[in-house]
Amino acid sequence: MTELTERDFEATVLQSDLPVLVDFHATWCGPCRMLAPALEQLAGEFAGRIRFVKVDVDEAPELAGRYQITGVPTLLFFQNGRVVDMVVGLASLSALRTRLARLAGPAPAAAETAPVGGCCRH
């Protein structure tokens, strides 16, 4: 997950072609550290469909203020430059996966492959 500054936020989040999950966190926050592995896993699952980024509220207080972040962790879900969903506090992996699936839309169809093994009849 990419750590953003106030300077990168507009181009990376607000102008993104993909939906974006923004993890507002702090280095001193225990629940933020507990959530990080789940977000890394989900970032892998939704690669190419949702962009995952982090904002340290102590390093970017203006952004935290703009989005009224009063507790961490807070996850904001952006689509087309607008906040469309929000989770405050520690959420389960399955709950986050459900929200992200809604945000991402249907998964791309798997490519068709030839059957493995067996023999063809002529």
Average pLDDT over residues 16-26: 97
Mean per-residue pLDDT over the chain, rounded: 90
Q: Verify whether residue 120 is a known catalytic residue.
A: no
What is the C-alpha separation between 98 and 112, in angstroms, rounded? 26
- Give the residue among 69, 81, 90, 62 at the shortest CA–CA distance from 20: 81
Instruction: Judge contact between 90 and 73, C-beta under 8 A.
Output: yes
Average pLDDT over residues 102-113: 69
Edge-first strand listing for the sheet containing 74-79: 2-4, 51-56, 20-25, 74-79, 82-88
pLDDT, tens digit, for every residue of 22-71? Answer: 999 999 999 999 999 999 999 999 999 999 999 999 999 999 999 999 99
Q: What is the pLDDT of residue 41?
A: 97
- The CATH superfamily label for domain 2-104 reads Glutaredoxin (3.40.30.10)
Does the pLDDT of residue 119 top 90, yes or no?
no
Catalytic residue among 1, 18, 29, 38: 29
Tell me the domain boundaries of the chain: 2-104
Does the pLDDT of residue 90 top 80, yes or no?
yes
Catalytic residue among 4, 21, 32, 100: 32
Q: What is the pLDDT of residue 106?
A: 76
Show the CA angle centred on residue 98, arms to residues 93 and 100, nearest 5°.
90
